[in-house]
Amino acid sequence: MKMTLPSGTNAVIEKPVSNRREQGLVIIPDVMGLRPLFHDMVKRLAIEWDIPVCSFELYPGSEHLNVEERLETASRLEDARVIGDAIEAADATQSEQVGILGFCMGGMYTLKTVSSQRFSKHCSFYGMIRVPKAWKSESQSEPMDCLQEGDADSVLAIVGSEDTWTPKEDVNLLSASGVTVISYKEADHGFVHDSSRPAHRPLDAEDAWMKAKSWVLGSS
């Protein structure tokens, strides 16, 4: 179901038939933002995980931008706005506690949300561990700094060993901070969430989804 967050950002939310409220979930999309892929993901996880799920647009008011334009203007994104929208999305689930997961750029922001101390569990799918040089600005804090302001032990980072957006030296820093890191051998960027991408690896994706569910819900 489409909705608008108090900030004015477009979002989608789905609630399970059981109407359970013990646990909710927020999804931060990749750089291309809220689109049918994430509408379907929100619906699927609400059913399969039996929890309320909410996702929102990363570039509110600029949904028309293509991927190159979004990457070129990433430095204009403001942590305060993105993290604020994530918190408003969490509130929209009306759940006792809320986990969060994100993909690519959304995975980077998932790491940053640790500083808000709003979320019970965090799962970053191949999120940038350091802000890419072209995206740096006064409104962009470093994920590693944000991890120091909250509980790094609440974070699961899923990465691919061949992903140049998450180089090995950065992954090592992440592990040293207390984050649980799972690296998939020979996997490249975006191997889990979008089956239309050449990088998609079905078996690894299935395993990663199971690990994310266990992490967020605390199940085995």
pLDDT at 172: 97
Tens of pLDDT, residue by residue over 119-147, are 999 999 999 999 999 999 999 999 999 99
Any alpha helices (H) in 49-104, and if so which ranges? 67-72, 79-92
Averaged pLDDT for residues 36-46: 97
pLDDT at 20: 77
Supply the mean pLDDT for the chain: 95
Asked whether residue 39 carries a pLDDT value surpassing 70, the answer given is yes
Tens of pLDDT, residue by residue over 47-76, are 999 999 999 999 999 999 999 999 999 999
pLDDT at 37: 97
pLDDT at 219: 58
Among 77-81, 85-89, 139-143, 215-219, the range scoring the smallest mean pLDDT is: 215-219
Tens of pLDDT, residue by residue over 88-97, are 999 999 999 9
Asked whether residue 189 carries a pLDDT value surpassing 60, the answer given is yes
In angstroms, the Cα distances linking 7 to 3, 11, 88, 132, 220 are: 11, 11, 8, 27, 36
On whether the CB atoms of residues 138 and 122 are closer than 8 A, the answer is no
In angstroms, the Cα distances linking 38 to 51, 53, 87 are: 16, 11, 18
Asked whether residue 220 carries a pLDDT value surpassing 50, the answer given is no
pLDDT at 55: 98
Task: List the domain boundaries for the chain.
Answer: 2-217
What confidence category does residue 87 fall into, taking pLDDT thresholds of 50, 70 and 90? very high
Question: What is this structure's pTM?
Answer: 0.95
> Which segments within the chain are labelled E, that is strand?
2-4, 10-14, 23-28, 53-56, 97-103, 122-125, 155-160, 180-184
CATH number belonging to the domain at 2-217, selected among 1.20.950.20, 3.40.50.1820, 3.10.20.600, 3.30.450.40: 3.40.50.1820
Averaged pLDDT for residues 115-121: 97
Averaged pLDDT for residues 144-161: 96
